[in-house]
Structure 1
C-alpha cells in the first residue's frame, strides 16, 4: 500500500471505528518501519493535521458539496477530508496530484461511481480556497469553532471562564506543530552531555528555559531505535506534567504512592528526585498499563520504584496513612492535550466530561486515607474544565476539612509552555 492508503486506513480506524489516534499511528509506524523517513513523516502529518483541522475542513467541504458530510460514505468523506487538508495546508503537494490521487484511491476502494464527485469537490475547493467566507467575531462561538477547529460545545464551555482572545490563543497553540519534550535525570547525565549524545544519533536537542531537567527534541524518525532512549537516559514527558513532581518536592526516604500512574512519567520523576532512597509505588487499573510502567522502569534502571495493578476506586487498608506524598493524576477529559491527541475533541462530549468529574471525586474520596498526617496530596489533570479542576479542589476541602489547599495552578496553552494542565497540592493536617 502507498502512503495515502495508509493515511486513509488510519483515519478510518480513528473516526469510524473509534480507535485512539496516538495508538493507531504508533502501531502503523511500528509495522511500516521499512518506509523511508519522508513517507512516514507524510503519514503522521496528514493524519494528525486532518484530525486537528477536521471541523474547519468539514466547513469547507460543506460549501462545495451538495451531499451533507454525515450522509457521505465513510471512505469518501475521509478521502475528501485529507484531500482538503493537503490543498489548504501542504504547499509541497501540487493541487493536481492531490485531486488525481484522491480519485485513484476512491476507485481502488470500490467507489468507481463516485470518482466524479470526489474530483469535482476537490477541484472546486482548489479553485476557490482563497474566496471562502468564514464566520466573523460577532458570532464568537461559530468564529472560534471554525477558525480553531474546536467543537461548539467546548467553545461555549470555555467562554464561561475565558475571553475570546484567550480561547483563540489556546486554539492556535493546539494547532501548532509540537516538539517532543523529554525529561532526563541530571544525576545520571548532564544536560550538555545528553545533547551531545543525541546529536551523534542524528537528533537535535534544545534546552527548555526554566526547566533544567527537560529538553525539546526534533529530527526523530523512530524513538524506539535511539540507543540513548533504550538505555533510559531520558523519558518522554510534557513540561506541564513535570511540574507535579517538582511541586511535590520529595524528601529523601519519602514513601510515595501514584494511584493512576501509566505510563509512569510522574512516578519515575519522583523516584529520580528521591535519589535512590524511599520508595514509589506506581499503580494503574489494567495489566496492560502496568506492563507499560514496568517497561519504563526497566529502561530507567531505577530500583526504588515498582508497578502494581490496583483499581483506584477500591480502598486498600494496607496503605492507610502510609504515604508521605500521594499523586492523584486522575482520568480526565484531556481537553488540555488536544495538540497531541486531536481526536479527543471529536469524541469527547459535555456528558462524558461531567461523568469524569464524578469519577475523580470517587477516587479522591478513597485515596485521601492513604496520606500520613502532615503529608501531601497532589491532584492533577490534563484538562481545561473547571468542573474537573477548580470545582473538584473546592469540593475536596469542603468534604474533607483535614486537608488544606496550599497551591494550585491552571496552565493554558498559548499562555504557558506545555500542555493545558491543572495541579492542586493539599496538605493533610
Structure 2
C-alpha cells in the first residue's frame, strides 16, 4: 500500500525553491525571494518564516555545513545539491529557530527529500537531521585559539580569505564585531517623497498604520521602520509617498548637494533608489539622466519614477566605461555609484559571501577607474562628482581616489564641511570621505567622496 505524501508547509516549500534559484541560477536572494512571494500568496506568518529561512540558510551556510558534516557518512561536497539544500534548511531551524519544534524541522525535511528523491534518500536526511537534533546543544565548534581564521570563518560563516583580510584590516576584535553586525538582518529605511509629502507627515501616516518609525539623527529625510508587516503593502507605498532606501545610500545623495534646476547624471542608476532621492532633493526641477548598461534594470528605474510621480528623470541605456560617453552632454553634477565588490552590503546580499573572490577586487577597481576617467570629462567647470562604492577595500576606495587625482590635476577633493554644517557630516572621516559601517552606525558599509572639476 502506497502512503499518501504528507503536506509540506508553504513557507518551507517556497524557501527551498528560492534557495535553488539562488544557487542554480545565480539569482540574488532579494530578487528571487520577492519574485516568489509575489507569485505565491502566503499568510504574514508564512512570509516571515520563508524570509527567515532563505536569508538564514544563505547567511549561515558554512556554519550549518560544519554542524551537518558530523552526522553525514558522506562528505557534503559529494551530496546532490538538492539534498544539501534540504539539510541546510533543517539545520538552520534546529540551530537558530527556537520557535520551530525539532520534530517539525526533521519531519518536514524528511518529507521534502521523500517527495524529491524517494524514501531511501529521505531515510538518509532523517538520520542526519535526527543526529544533529540530538547533539545540537553540545556541538564541538572549532577553537579560535588553535586556528583563528578557520574557527572564526566557521563560527561566523565567512570564507577564510575574508576573515584573514578583515583581521589584518581591523584587528581581531573589530573584525569579529564587523562579522557579527554583517550577519544581523538589515534594518528597513524609507525616504519620504518630499514632492508629495513632508517627512513628518509620512512618519505620522506610517505610525497610524501600525508601524514603528524612527527618524535618523544623521541623515535628513531617512526613517527607520520596524516592520510589523510588509511595508510595500501599505497604501502610502502604492501612492508613491515613499521609497525604500538604505540610510547610507541616502547620505551619498546628500553628499552630491544637488540643487533645483541643475543638469545631473546618475551613472549606473538602476534600480533607481538614488535617482529618486536626487530628484526629490531637486524638488523635481531640472534634469536627471539615469544611465545604466542593463536595459531590464533600467526599466525598474522608470517604474519607480512613475510610482513616485517624478518627472525630471529620463533614462538612457549606456555603457559609460566605453568611448562615446561624452556624447551624452555635460553635467553640473554626476553621481557614480560604481560597480564594486559589495562587501559592505552582506546583510542584504549574503550570497555575495560565497560568490566574491579576492581577484574580483582588482578587476572591479579597473572598471571603476575607467568610469572615473570618462565621467570626469563630462563635468562642466566647477561641477561636482560623487564617487561611491558599497564596500571598504582600499583598492576601491582611498587608493582608487589617490591614483585618480594624481592623474587628473583638473580634479580636486571637495570637502563638504567647508559649507553649511549638516548632520551627516558626522559620517565623514578626517579626509572628508563618507564612511559608514554596520557595527558603528547600523548602516551598510559605504565609501564615498565628492570631487570637483576646477575652473
Task: With the length of structure 1 as denominator, give the TM-score of the two structures.
Answer: 0.95
Q: What SS class does the counterpart of residue 303 from structure 1 fall into?
A: coil
Closer, same or farther in 2 for the Cα pair 1:185/1:220, shift >3 Å?
same
2:100 is the counterpart of 1:85: no
Deviation at 1:50, TM superposition (A): 0.7
Tell me whether 405-414 or 416-425 shows the greater mean CA deviation.
Answer: 405-414
Residue 66 of structure 1 is matched in structure 2 by 73
Return the alpha-carbon distance in structure 1 between the equivalents of residues 141 and 69 of structure 2: 12
Q: Distance in 1 between matches of 2:30 and 2:12?
A: 18
Tell me the residue number matched to 2:317.
309
* Deviation readout 1:128-151 (Å, 9 max, x if unpaired): 122122233333212321122111
Q: What is the SS of the residue equivalent to 1:331? A: coil
SS at match of 1:160: helix
Q: Distance in 2 between matches of 1:426 and 1:45?
A: 41
Task: Give, in whole Å, the separation in 2 of the partners of 1:313 and 1:187.
Answer: 33
Partner of 2:63: 56
Aligned to 2:111: 104
Relative to structure 2, which stretch is displaced further, 191-200 or 237-246? 191-200
Check whether the contact 1:258–1:283 (CA below 8 A) recurs between aligned residues: yes
Matches for 1:16-31 after TM superposition, within 5 Å:
16-31=24-39
Identify the range of structure 1 (86-95 vs 415-424) with the bigger mean alpha-carbon deviation.
415-424
Unaligned runs of 5+ in 2: 1-7, 415-431
**CA drift at 1:427:** 1.4
1:175-202 C-alpha deviation (Å, 9 max, x unpaired): 2222211111446423332123223444
Inter-partner Cα distance in structure 1 for 2:442 and 2:106: 38
Deviations 1:69-105 (A, max 9, x none): 1111111111111111000111111111111111111
How far 1:220 sits from its partner (Å)?
Answer: 5.3
Of the candidates 344, 360, 366, which is equivalent to residue 358 of structure 1?
366
User: Where does residue 318 of structure 1 map in the other structure?
Assistant: 327
Aligned length: 427
SS at match of 2:433: strand
Which residue in the other structure is 1:418 paired with? 443
For 1:138-157, what aligned pairs fall within 5 Å after superposition?
A: 138=145, 139-157=147-165
Q: Does 1:46 align with 2:81?
A: no
Residue aligning to 2:422: none
Query: Equivalent residue of 2:197, what SS?
Result: coil
- CA shift for structure 1 position 353: 2.8
Measured in 1, the distance between the counterparts of 2:199 and 2:60 equals: 36
1:408 match: 433
Deviation at residue 63 of structure 1 after TM alignment: 2.3
Cα distance in 2 for partners of 1:76, 1:316 equals 48
Match of 1:251 in 2: 259
How many Å apart are 1:319 and its aligned residue? 4.1
Q: How does 1:98-247 map to 2 (within 5 A)?
A: 98-138=105-145, 139-186=147-194, 188-219=196-227, 221-247=229-255
Q: 1:387 aligns with which of 388, 395, 400?
A: 395
1:223 to partner: Cα distance: 4.1
The 3 A distance-change label for structure 1 pair 93 and 188 is same
Q: How does 1:269-348 map to 2 (within 5 A)?
A: 269-314=277-322, 315-320=324-329, 322-348=330-356
Are the counterparts in 1 of residues 194 and 280 from structure 2 also a CA contact under 8 Å?
no
What do you get for the CA RMSD once the two structures are aligned?
A: 1.8
Superposed CA offset, 1:148-177 (max 9, x none): 211111112223321112221111112222
Give 1:214 deviation, angstroms: 1.1
**TM-score (structure 2 length as normaliser):** 0.89
Would you say the 8 A contact 1:169–1:413 is kept in 2? no
Return the alpha-carbon distance in structure 2 between the equivalents of residues 343 and 380 of structure 1.
22
State how far apart, in whole Å, the 2-side matches of 1:125 and 1:182 are. 40
What is the alpha-carbon distance in structure 1 between the residues aligned to residue 185 and residue 284 of structure 2?
A: 37
